[in-house]
Structure 1
Amino acid sequence: MKLIECPRDAMQGIHEFIPTALKAQYINLLLQTGFDTIDFGSFVSPKAIPQLRDTKEVLAQLDLGYSATKLLAIVANLRGADEAMACPEISYIGFPFSVSETFQRRNTNSGILESLTTVEQMLELCEKHGKTAVVYLSMGFGNPYGDEYNAAIVEDWAGRLVEKGTKILSLSDTIGVSTPPQIKQLLPLLMRSFPETEIGLHLHSTPESRIEKIEAAYQSGCKRFDSALRGFGGCPMAKDDLTGNMATEDVINYLQQQGENLELNLAKLQEALALSTTVFNI
């Protein structure tokens, strides 16, 4: 069972700049908690995501000596990928690949076919630099733009990404429209079609529907969950109203109830939860 904590996704849409030292303090607590991976920052244009313009500075303040947790950073193009490749501390490079043409252009300023080429080149860079790509199937459960959507479209693009060499796909509900029946249909479909590929879920949700989505994912065989403490965040490039992430504490509670041994430092988790109120100014 892999838990991917996503402070990057939680922070990216907040307009008031979170001080670099506070970001690093928070992520250092998350590193001590024992998550498999921390999605900690992004190498994208500061004009697009000003909150994360200090990713390199945050990275320099992280204490990685006593943590087995790996770091993931998001990129939107090859320039960002090159920057991330130069950081030996980063294990995973994430790229948002949308099955919605409209969102792909909004999010990365390139179309789907152009982005497929970018992924191919990024995979070559990862091979060269000893890193692993995580490709997110954005708008994987539908989109608000009227772009054609169905499960076959998701499966087709997933197949093309796997053919290029993608080893990890994260099925992403960018705007929180997924339903438990959808999750139970789409996740097993991809897992059956691409048995050699690690398939995860990056779901956004309102608080009212979180548990039923977590349950549907778990019952469908999901072993890789993206989430953020307290459910903060969402994608600022998708629409004006941010739909929150899955709350990490809800994911943990559910999985523990199912008897999963997550091997987490719960004391550090509580410290991170307490500090999150300062980080997110609530």
Structure 2
Amino acid sequence: MTQVRIVEVGPRDGLQNETQTVVTATKIELIERLVAAGLRTVEATSFVSPRWVPQMADHAELMAALPRHPGVTYPVLTPNLKGFEAALTHGVREVAVFAAASESFSQRNINCSISESIERFQPVFEAAQREGVRVRGYVSCVVSCPYEGPVDPQRVAEVAAQMMALGSYEVSLGDTIGTGTPASVLRMLEAVATRVPVAQLAGHYHDTYGMAAANVHASYQFGLRVFDSSVSGLGGCPYAKGASGNIATEDVVYLLHGLGATTGIDLERLVDTSVWISQQLGREPGSRVTRAMFAKRQSI
């Protein structure tokens, strides 16, 4: 059977835009529940200024209190050397950096051009190499930009290749505003695959237009074996108005298991986690699979 790795981004990407404060204890319990369900890569937090992302202000407290488990990694976002050095003091062994395939989005998101953002990451990669820390690269707006419209796949390929050249072990390709379709995603993947091995690519798809599951399926058929997702579909993008959350982890797992792939994830326990965090946030689960499975349980 084909093995697929799921990168759970709910505790970081999912919670970062919540207007209500999510306390550290709740974040830790969410992570622990996800690990108990079988997730082995869980993005825990961001080492960024609380001024920019208030929800992640407890990053040091969270990493200090988070239990460690064999075979489980907790990557964190570190946009600069200062963030990397802070993360390092808390035992972080994997970090993530973000670039964009859109100049306008890069300016709105991190106040610099794409080339300037790549230059800013150089010290992070150099420090990570010295410390034996893995770096994962993210590329935003790989299909379309909220300010520029459709993005040239060749530009995506160029940015992805630059992230690899810096030292990323893997590049996650993000459909930030969720406008992608299987056709547009495949055009992008075909271009990127000429510069970066498919085995080192991951798909990160938002569900704004309800196409995320279709895009995961198309990417899986193309050869991708790593996908980012967020429990209960939590998340969005603070710099892309109207962008809804990432695809729900439950929906990805259900799809992949239906295709005969293995993920190592217990779907029942994952659904329980989705229901639990949704209750903590005072809303209905954002996953169709969770809603369907929970309704079925209630009817028995």
Q: Are positions 1:271 and 2:272 aligned together? A: yes
One-letter amino acid of the structure 1 residue matched with residue 39 of structure 2: F
Residue segments in structure 2 that go unaligned for 5+ positions in a row? 284-300
Matches within 5 A, 1:1-282: 1-7=4-10, 8-65=12-69, 67-88=70-91, 90-146=92-148, 149-195=151-197, 198-206=200-208, 208-239=210-241, 241-282=242-283
Q: Could you tell me how far apart the structure 2 residues matched to 1:268 and 1:123 are?
A: 36
Q: Could you tell me how far apart the structure 1 residues matched to 2:115 and 2:185 are?
A: 26
Does the aligned pair in 2 maintain the 1:23–1:279 contact within 8 Å? no
Deviates more, 1:155-164 or 1:265-274: 265-274
One-letter amino acid of the structure 2 residue matched with residue 119 of structure 1: F
Residue segments in structure 1 that go unaligned for 5+ positions in a row? none
Superposition deviation, residue 207 in structure 1:
6.8
Structure 1 vs Structure 2 CA RMSD: 1.9
Q: Could you tell me how far apart the structure 2 residues matched to 1:22 and 1:2 are?
A: 25
Deviations 1:122-151 (A, max 9, x none): 111111121111111111111121278301
Q: Structure 1 residues 218 and 148 mapped into 2: Cα distance closer, same or farther (>3 Å)?
A: closer
Does the aligned pair in 1 maintain the 2:76–2:96 contact within 8 Å? yes
Deviates more, 1:22-31 or 1:208-217: 208-217
SS in 2 for 1:249: helix
Q: Could you tell me how far apart the structure 1 residues matched to 2:60 and 2:224 are?
A: 32
Q: TM-score, normalised by structure 1?
A: 0.92
Q: Structure 1 residues 196 and 230 mapped into 2: Cα distance closer, same or farther (>3 Å)?
A: closer
Does the aligned pair in 1 maintain the 2:97–2:121 contact within 8 Å? yes
One-letter amino acid of the structure 1 residue matched with residue 85 of structure 2: D
Q: Could you tell me how far apart the structure 1 residues matched to 2:66 and 2:269 are?
A: 15
SS in 2 for 1:70: coil
SS in 2 for 1:225: strand
Does the aligned pair in 1 maintain the 2:254–2:267 contact within 8 Å? no
Percent identity over the alignment is 29
Q: Could you tell me how far apart the structure 2 residues matched to 1:245 and 1:93 are?
A: 20
Runs of 4+ in structure 1 over 4 Å off: none
Q: Could you tell me how far apart the structure 1 residues matched to 2:182 and 2:222 are?
A: 10
Q: TM-score, normalised by structure 2?
A: 0.87
Does the aligned pair in 2 maintain the 1:137–1:158 contact within 8 Å? yes
SS in 1 for 2:253: helix
One-letter amino acid of the structure 2 residue matched with residue 245 of structure 1: N
